[in-house]
Structure 1
Amino acid sequence: MKNEDKQNVCKENVYSSIFNDYSKTIFNYIYYKFGNEEKANDAVQEAFVKLWENCSKVSPAKAKSFLYTVANNLYLNVIKAEKVRLKYADKTLKTTNENPEFILEETQFKEKLENALNGLPDNQRTTFLLNRIDGKKYAEIAEMEGVSIKAIEKRMHLALKNLRKKIDGI
């Protein structure tokens, strides 16, 4: 995106490039906050709509930051309005040829893990999931969250400490 600074986000090819570069990571970021795929998709779509509406005001270099800010603000507005706690999808038990005891243990473990993750403060849960599930580095998470790398390190440390306390036997 070196040359794109001179270009305009209103140009279809620039906008398309920005969409291809950032839509998946913004979706993951918001999904980990919402815990709901549909709401995360809506927030990402709305963020890109707002980028298009403000394309003449946002430079390509600032588009990533703009998108994360808009998506995060949408998330905060929904949380404020609905007061929703994170719920993880895929709670259905899949039929397999596994041993019933194994399936029971697996179900109990998933439940324990979900409860432990839901018990984490939002910032720790988001940091943990972005790092461990999405493979984001602390610097990337710090940029997304608008905090220092040290703050992310602290959040991760506290998240791991809390998870270890809540999930014994792992």
Structure 2
Amino acid sequence: MKNFSVKGICEEITFSAFFKEHAKSLRNYLYYKFGNEEQAEDVTQEAFIKLWQNCADVPPEKAKSFLYTVANNASLNQIAHQKVVLQYAQKNTHVHTDGHNPEFLMEEDQFRVKLQNAIAGLSEAQRTAFLLHRIEGKKYQEIADILGISVKAVEKRIHGALVELRKQIDNIR
């Protein structure tokens, strides 16, 4: 974290710099957790609003942790809605044609849907760790910090996700 002034995160310039530094990462984390970009942006904004409202009580060195804790709690409140959101996201995938024959495009689209279903079938813990690592490019330590778990737990979640995806992909062929 960058050095923030003594007044803490309540100073508007400091808060703005903190927002610019962490908003995209938090939004991406929530997108992987929810599977819905609009919802991820909404929860990101809510988390930053709560940080601003509680800025006097949150030391600057704990602000990132506070932000992710608020976001995690929001995600726990919406777990029941998770499957509906993922099904919606799967129905709205777009195919880009670039001169391939229609049979190839159809097979590619079918494989994409099956892969998305396989990823959606992972447990929330596996899916979140897997997407943070493979899509966002986060290191295991970063994922452990974001999720509040050990690096070994991250390794186990990603390994479990890979094993499950390999099973599903072998069934596809």
User: Deviation of residue 6 (structure 1)?
Assistant: 2.2
AA matched with 2:8:
N
Of residues 100, 114, 121, the one that matches 1:119 is: 121
Question: What displacement does 1:5 show?
Answer: 6.0
The amino acid that maps onto 2:76 is L
Q: Distance in 1 between matches of 2:118 and 2:33?
A: 15
Answer whether contact 2:30 2:40 (CA < 8 A) is retained: yes
Greater helix fraction, Structure 1 or Structure 2: 2
Instruction: Label 1:95 to 1:66 Cα distance change in 2 as closer, same or farther (>3 A).
Output: same
Q: CA deviation at 1:98?
A: 2.5
Shift of 1:18: 0.8
| Cross-structure match for 1:139 | 141
What's the C-alpha RMSD, in Å, of the aligned pairs?
1.8
Structure 2 segments unaligned to the other structure (5+ residues): none
Distance 1:96 1:43, change over 3 A: same
Provide, for residues 37-88 of structure 1, a one-character-per-residue CA deviation record: whole Å limited to 9, x for no partner: 11000000000000110111111111100100101111111224x3544343
Q: Where in structure 1 do 4 or more consecutive aligned residues deviate above 2 Å?
A: 82-90, 92-98
More deviation, 1-10/153-162: 1-10
Whether the 8 Å contact between 2:34 and 2:82 is mirrored in structure 1 is: no
- The equivalent of 1:4 in structure 2 is 4
CA offsets 1:90-135 (integer angstroms, 9 cap, x no match): 4234455331011101101101101110111010010000000000
Question: Aligned pair 1:100/2:108, yes or no?
Answer: no
Residue equivalent to 1:67: 67
TM-score, length basis structure 2: 0.90
- The aligned residue for residue 36 of structure 1 is 36
Question: Counterpart of 1:37 in structure 2: which amino acid?
Answer: E
Matching residue of 2:162: 160
| Equivalent-residue separation in structure 1 for 2:131 and 2:98 (angstroms) | 27
Deviates more, 1:86-95 or 1:128-137: 86-95
Within a 5 Å distance, the mapping from 1:46-65 to structure 2 comes to: 46-65=46-65
Unmatched tracts of structure 1, length 5 or more: none
